[in-house]
Amino acid sequence: MRVLSGIQPTGRFHWGNYFGAIRQYIELQDEDESYYFIANLHALTTVRDPKVLAGYTLDAAIDLLALGLDPQRATLFVQSDVPEISELCWLLLTGAPMGLLERCHAYKDKVARGLPADAGLFTYPVLMAADILAYDSDVVPVGEDQVQHIEVCRDLAGSFNHHFGQTFTLPKAKLLDHSAKVPGTDGEKMSKSYNNTLELFEDAKAQRKKIMRITTDSRPMDEPKEPEGDHLFQLYSLVAAEAEREEMAAMYRRGGFGYGEVKKALADAAERYFAEARARRLELESDHDKVRAILADGAARARKKAGEVLLRSKRACGLIPT
Ligand code: TYM
């Protein structure tokens, strides 16, 4: 089984990225082959400051390594270091139906809000399809918001195969049911664009303050409450041990507690949960050369595989004589 996923360096990673996707990368890195990349070409559709983009890209690599991605077991690289992807993207674009792309939510939402969209955003899912197909990926671990894009990838691959003969492997999305959609501090999906994130490596004091400001309902203190639908409880469940989670659920059902107590428990559990990764991050932060060498090695490995698939696709559609 070949696993692949990408993550955009559009800011610092948050709990949604970790519990929805990165945690799966780490669990799956022992599969036959796994490829994880930092999607800087995608990020270029929103981050237009070169220094900021370069900084976020390196930070993303450091974060992934600190969180447990092991370059001995998984191939870690930066998207733009594999130029084969952009070429493959063009092959797919030539047959991508406008209607299919018009239905994709990132583009559709922007247009619905009356904002101007550019061709980069419109064709974004096709570049993503190229990312996936270039490695003959079977499985793509992602959060729920990316499922539509993987369906688009399957459609594009299927119609290419239909037209030019069997060329691409059709991938499947892999979701974690309990954290495929991690809520933010306001209960909506956690997302940088909603300004409701808890970042993985933000200053512990600043994070505690953010947690204390999480919006809650106006339930009277003594009233029992179902824990399952509550976003504060959902966030706590991500970082607490099983026994702590059970205890908290029982407290919700009994009633007679204040949300302040839950928030404090959440901040404590989060600090414990990420303590080791935080320490590893500090070490990596002082050795950028090592991180750059890991990325260069990853890119070389990724290019080898992507080059094979590109050659196969160019042959299939008549760009290279068979
Ligand atoms: P991106 O950078 O927005 O998000 C990276 C990963 O984090 C997941 N995620 C979440 N999961 C659960 N709950 C949330 N609140 C939450 N927020 C983010 C996302 O689902 C994603 O898995 N287009 C992709 C990057 C990409 C890609 C690819 C992914 C480019 N090429 C090829 C897979 C395969 C994106 O913007 O993810």
6 lines ligand 1 (CB under 6 A): yes
Say whether 273 sits in a helix, a strand or coil: helix
Distance 164 CA to ligand 1 centre (A): 30
The ligand 1 atom at the shortest distance from the C-alpha of residue 180 is 12
Burial category of 243 from C-beta neighbours within 10 Å (exposed 0-12, middle 13-18, buried 19 and up): exposed
pLDDT at residue 252 above 90? Answer: yes
Identify the CA nearest to 176 among candidates 9, 58, 27, 7. 27
Residue 42 contacts residue 6 (beta carbons within 8 Å): yes
Amino acid 217: pLDDT: 87
User: pLDDT tens-digit profile of 67-98?
Assistant: 999 999 999 999 999 999 999 999 999 999 99
Query: Which position among 181, 192, 263, 305 bears the catalytic label?
Result: 192
Q: Which atom of ligand 1 is nearest to the CA of 142?
A: 22
pLDDT tens digits, 147-193: 999 999 999 999 999 999 999 999 999 999 888 999 999 999 999 98
- Pocket probe for ligand 1: among 146, 148, 238, the residue whose CB has the most ligand atoms within 8 Å is 146
Ligand 1 center–CA 32 separation, angstroms: 22
Is 210 one of the catalytic residues? no
CB 91 within 8 A of CB 314: yes
Mean pLDDT (whole number) for 244-270: 96
β-pair partners for 36:
5, 76
What's residue 193's pLDDT? 87
What pLDDT, on a 0 to 100 scale, did the predictor assign at position 221?
77
- CB distance 169 to 139 below 8 Å: no
Q: Strands, DSSP E only, in 118-232?
A: 139-141, 172-174
131 in contact with ligand 1, CB cutoff 6 A:
yes
- 40 alpha carbon – ligand 1 mean position (Å): 13
Closest CA to 66 of 191, 245, 201, 173: 201
Q: What distance in angstroms lies between residue 55's CA and the mean position of ligand 1's atoms?
A: 19
Amino acid 185: pLDDT:
97
Is the dihedral angle over the CA atoms 218, 221, 227, 232 positive or is it negative? positive
CA–CA gap between residue 264 and residue 271 (Å, rounded): 11
CA–CA separation, 81 and 102 (whole Å)? 29
Residue-wise pLDDT tens digits, 113-153: 999 899 999 999 999 999 999 999 999 999 999 999 999 99
Confidence of residue 218 (pLDDT cuts 50, 70, 90): confident
Q: pLDDT confidence of 222, banded at 50, 70, 90?
A: confident
Which of 3, 7, 42, 182 maximizes ligand 1 atoms within 8 Å of its Cβ, making it the mutation to test the pocket?
7
Residue 61: CB within 6 Å of ligand 1? no
Q: Is 304 a catalytic residue?
A: no
Q: What is the pLDDT of residue 322?
A: 85
Domains delineated in the chain: 2-181+288-317 (3.40.50.620), 202-273 (1.10.240.10)
Average pLDDT, the chain: 96
How many A from CA of 199 to the centre of ligand 1? Answer: 15
Q: For this structure, is 51 an active site residue?
A: no
Whole-number pLDDT of residue 226:
93
Tell me if 89 CB under 6 Å of ligand 1: no
